[in-house]
Structure 1
Amino acid sequence: MMEWLFVPAAYLIGSVSSAIIICRLMGLPDPREQGSGNPGATNVMRIGGKKAAGITLLGDMLKGLIPVYGANLFGVPIELLAATGLAAFIGHLYPVFFGFKGGKGVATTIGVLLGYSWFLGLAFVATWLLIYKISKISSLSALIAAVLAPAYAWFILGSPTLVEASALMTAVLLWRHKSNIQRLLAGEEAAIKP
C-alpha cells in the first residue's frame, strides 16, 4: 500500500502559503514585509482587511483539513493519520515553496483538528471565539484554544496517538507565539478591531 504518501503530500499542501498567494492576487503588500511580518490571516487583516484575511484563513484551514480528511476517508492507521496532520502543520510553518519561512500555524491547526474530528476542530474554534469576544486579542484566543486542544482530543477522541499529535502542535504553537506571550505578559499585545 502507498498510504505513507499522505505524509509528504500533506507537507507539500501545507507548504502552499495562502497569505502570500492571496496578497499577490489582491495586489496587497507581501505579508512577510508588512505589519508583523507573519504570513497569516491576522497580519493579512492588518494590511488588507477582512475579505483578504477571511480568504487566507479559509485557505490555511483547508490545507490542514484536506490531507487529514483524505487520509481519514482512506482509512489509514491512526499513527499515519496523526503524522499526516503534523506534516501539513509543519508544511505551513516551514514551507518548501517559500524559503521555509511560514506562519504561526493556528488556522492550519484548526484544519488538522477538523480532519481528526469535526467536534474537536469545532471545540477549538468555539474556544477561540469565546476568548476573542471577551479579550479582542487574537493571539490570546489562539493560545488558550491551543492549550485546551489536547484535553479536548482526549475527551472527544480518546486516542493517545491523536492526543500526542495535538499536544505537539500546541507546544509548537506556544513556541511560535513566544513574542506574543511576552507582549501579553507585559500588557502590550494589541487587540484587533472587529
Structure 2
Amino acid sequence: MPVNMPQGVSPGAIAAILAVTAVFAYFCGCFNGAVIVSKYILRDDVRTHGSGNAGLTNFHRTFGGPLTFVVILTDVLKAVVAILVAGWLFGGVTVYDGWAPLWPVLAKYWAGTFCLLGHMFPCMFHFKGGKGILSGGTIAIMIDWRVALVVWGGFLVLAILTKWVSLGSIWAGASFPFATWFVYHNWLLLALAIFLGGLIVWKHRGNLKRILSGTESKFSLHHKTDGGKQA
C-alpha cells in the first residue's frame, strides 16, 4: 500500500488534521474512569490503594460494586468517541487514490495512540493513569475485527486459564503489531502499532516481573476487603 502525499491537499492541512485529532483523542483519553469515579464519587483515589494503578482491575479489587461498570463504560466510550471523531475529521479530506484505502485506518490508529497516551498519562491527574488494556481493547475492536480477534482471543484464553489479567494484557500489547502487519502489510501502521502495543507492555513491566517470580495476584470476581493491598 503506497504512502504518497494526498493529491491536492497541502502538507499544512494534513498536519492540522493530525494535530487536531491528536489533541482531541488525548483529552478523551484523559477521562480516566477509575480516577473519576474513585476520586469524585467515592472520595477515595484508587491510586492510593493496591498497585497504585488507575485501571479497572485495581478499581475492582479495591472497591468492587456496581460503580465498576461506570469505569468500564467511561473507558470504552472515550475510545469510541476519539476514533469516531477522528474518522469524521479525516473523512473531510479527499485523498490520492493510492492513499485512500489507508486513510480511514490511519485515522483509527492515530486517534487510538493518542487516546491511550491520555489514558496512561492524563495531564489533569498528574500524568498518573491506567495501563490501557480496556481502552486499548476497544480501539482494537474499532480498528478491525481480525485485529481484535487476535488481541482479545489471546487475552481471554490467558486470563481465564491463569487468572492473571496482566498476562492477557501483555499478550494483547505484544500481539497488536503482529496482527496489524498480518491484516494491513503497511509500515506506517506497523510503526504506530508497535508504539501503541509497546506502551501497554511497558506499563505492565512490573506485572511481568511478578509473574516470573510467581508473586502476581490472581483475578477474582469478588473484590478484596483490605483496601486492595493484594493488587
1:134 equivalent in structure 2: 161
1:130, CA displacement in angstroms?
1.2
Q: How does 1:13-162 map to 2 (within 5 A)?
A: 13-24=28-39, 26-27=41-42, 29-49=44-64, 51-76=66-91, 77=103, 79-162=106-189
* 1:61–1:108 contact (8 Å) kept in structure 2: yes
Q: TM-score, normalised by structure 1?
A: 0.88
Unaligned stretches of 5+ residues in structure 1: none
**Which residue, 204, 207, 216 being the options, matches 1:180?**
207
**Which residue, 151, 159, 168 being the options, matches 2:195?**
168
Q: Distance in 1 between matches of 2:90 and 2:150?
A: 23
1:171, CA displacement in angstroms?
1.5
* 2:207–2:216 contact (8 Å) kept in structure 1: yes
CA distance 1:145–1:59, shift in 2 (3 Å): same
- Return 173-182 or 40-49, whichever deviates more: 173-182
1:61, CA displacement in angstroms?
2.6
1:182, CA displacement in angstroms?
0.8
Per the alignment, in what secondary structure is the counterpart of residue 32 of structure 1? helix
The higher relative CO (CA closer than 8 Å, separation ≥ 6) is in 2
Q: Distance in 2 between matches of 1:28 and 1:189?
A: 28
Give the CA RMSD over aligned residues.
2.1
CA distance 1:178–1:75, shift in 2 (3 Å): same
Q: Distance in 2 between matches of 1:108 and 1:81?
A: 13
Q: Distance in 2 between matches of 1:116 and 1:73?
A: 15
Q: Distance in 2 between matches of 1:33 and 1:82?
A: 32
Q: Distance in 2 between matches of 1:71 and 1:137?
A: 33
Q: Distance in 2 between matches of 1:119 and 1:73?
A: 23
CA distance 1:73–1:156, shift in 2 (3 Å): farther
CA distance 1:141–1:81, shift in 2 (3 Å): closer
1:51, CA displacement in angstroms?
3.0
Q: TM-score, normalised by structure 2?
A: 0.75
Per the alignment, in what secondary structure is the counterpart of residue 66 of structure 2? helix
Q: Distance in 1 between matches of 2:199 and 2:165?
A: 17
* 1:69–1:115 contact (8 Å) kept in structure 2: no
CA distance 1:102–1:188, shift in 2 (3 Å): same
CA distance 1:51–1:166, shift in 2 (3 Å): farther
1:28, CA displacement in angstroms?
6.0
